[in-house]
């Protein structure tokens, strides 16, 4: 089947998997406890709240019902950006999120990702897209990303002819995907390699990467990559905002300090792992109360934690 025909049939397949409106939940009118501050996602024109729900931790909620409670709380608190990946819990995170978002699809921004480290092929990405659409119960994605690039060679494989990025960009042209991006959390040089391909014409809209106070001091994405993204108008999606909770657990920073720090940088949204409703409510309150840190305050926080610098705290970079 020609790729164009494949993507056309793919959209139809996904649309057919969506349960009709109505029933116990049906189309829902979203209730806001309090509006969250919002920013534009790069040059996409999409306005999103500064706090997003991470899909990996949703897959650790314990059950489909527990995940639904987390999503429901997120919607009530004003969160509209939902992150996921086909590789999270072998598709379970997407499946639970798809069920929980029934009836509100048009009111939220839904993102997922394709990960195939061995080949980074277009064929593999197409299979992932088909599976993601079915599990998420949608016929389109707002954002689809090349997930977790690990090396320069890895990036080059994905951007080569018949590589995964070819499928991602074609899905965007076909309208199955609105916006596309790249994620990476190991080495800033790898993300910069993706920008090399961006500058050569393989344009993407967003990049997801680690941003937290400790990152400033070691293999720093915010120092090496963030300015390049801002210069190109690429939307910045922050992840690992507390180094997967290590900064909080080791009492280096509070979650309040981590999130305020990240939101004070030129990022569009912080995707945060929250597997329980109380975490969602707490972090949504922080977003509503956010005030910009001054340059002096940012520097003071960085200097305070400098003695604690240890790459083991950001193990995902090793």
Q: Is 116 left (phi over 0), alpha (psi -120 to 50) or beta?
A: beta
Provide block-wise average pLDDT over 10 residues at a time, the chain (318 residues): 46 37 46 79 97 98 98 97 98 98 97 96 98 98 98 98 98 98 98 98 98 98 98 98 98 98 98 98 98 98 98 96
DSSP letters, 187-217, are -HHHHHHHHHHHHTT---SEEEEE-STGGGG
Q: At what angle do helices 92-100 and 64-76 cross, to 10 degrees?
A: 50
Radius of gyration, alpha carbons of the chain: 19
Q: What pLDDT is attached to residue 14?
A: 40
Task: Give which of 97, 81, 100, 107 is closest to 29, Cα–Cα.
Answer: 107
**Alpha-carbon distances of 264 from 172, 232, 292, rounded to whole Å:** 31, 19, 5
pLDDT at residue 31, rounded to an integer: 53
Q: How far is Cα 91 from Cα 82, in angstroms, rounded to an integer? A: 15
pLDDT in tens, 13-53: 443 333 322 333 456 666 555 689 999 999 999 999 999 99
- Which runs of E-coded beta strand occur in the chain? 38-40, 47-49, 51-53, 81-82, 109-114, 141-146, 177-183, 206-210, 235-239, 269-272
Strands 51-53 and 47-49: unpaired
Give pLDDT, residue 27: 60
Q: Are strands 47-49 and 269-272 parallel, antiparallel or unpaired?
A: unpaired
Please report the pLDDT score of residue 169 as a whole number: 98
Q: What is the pTM of this model?
A: 0.91
Per-residue model confidence (pLDDT) at position 35: 87
pLDDT of residue 33: 52
pLDDT value of position 86? 98
Task: Provide the token pair at 81.
Answer: 């950006």
């Amino acid at each position: 089947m020609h790729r164009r025909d494949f993507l056309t049939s793919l959209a139809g397949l996904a649309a057919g998997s969506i349960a009709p409106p109505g029933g116990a939940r049906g189309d829902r009118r979203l209730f806001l406890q309090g509006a969250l501050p919002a920013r534009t996602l790069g040059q996409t024109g999409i306005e999103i709240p500064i706090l997003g729900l991470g899909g990996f931790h949703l897959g650790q909620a314990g059950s489909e019902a527990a995940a639904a409670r987390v999503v429901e709380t997120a919607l009530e608190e004003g969160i509209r950006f939902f992150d996921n990946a086909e590789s999270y819990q072998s598709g379970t995170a997407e499946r639970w999120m798809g069920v929980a978002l029934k009836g509100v699809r048009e009111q939220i921004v839904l993102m997922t990702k394709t990960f195939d480290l061995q080949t980074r092929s277009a064929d593999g990405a197409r299979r992932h897209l088909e599976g993601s659409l079915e599990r998420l119960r949608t016929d389109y994605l707002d954002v689809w990303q090349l997930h977790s690039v690990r090396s320069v060679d890895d990036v080059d494989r994905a951007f080569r002819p018949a590589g995964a990025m070819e499928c991602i960009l074609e899905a965007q042209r076909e309208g199955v995907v609105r916006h596309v991006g790249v994620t990476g959390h190991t080495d800033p040089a790898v993300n910069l390699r993706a920008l090399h391909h961006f500058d050569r014409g393989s344009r993407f809209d967003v990049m997801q990467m680690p941003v937290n106070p400790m990152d400033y001091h070691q293999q720093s994405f915010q120092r090496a990559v963030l300015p390049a993204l801002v210069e190109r108008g690429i939307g910045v999606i922050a992840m690992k905002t507390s180094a997967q909770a290590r900064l909080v657990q080791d009492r280096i920073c509070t979650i309040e300090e981590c999130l305020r720090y990240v939101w004070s940088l030129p990022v569009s949204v912080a995707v945060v792992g929250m597997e329980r409703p109380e975490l969602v409510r707490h972090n949504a309150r922080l977003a509503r109360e956010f005030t910009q840190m001054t340059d002096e305050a940012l520097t003071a926080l960085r200097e305070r934690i400098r003695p604690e610098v240890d790459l083991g705290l950001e193990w995902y970079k090793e």
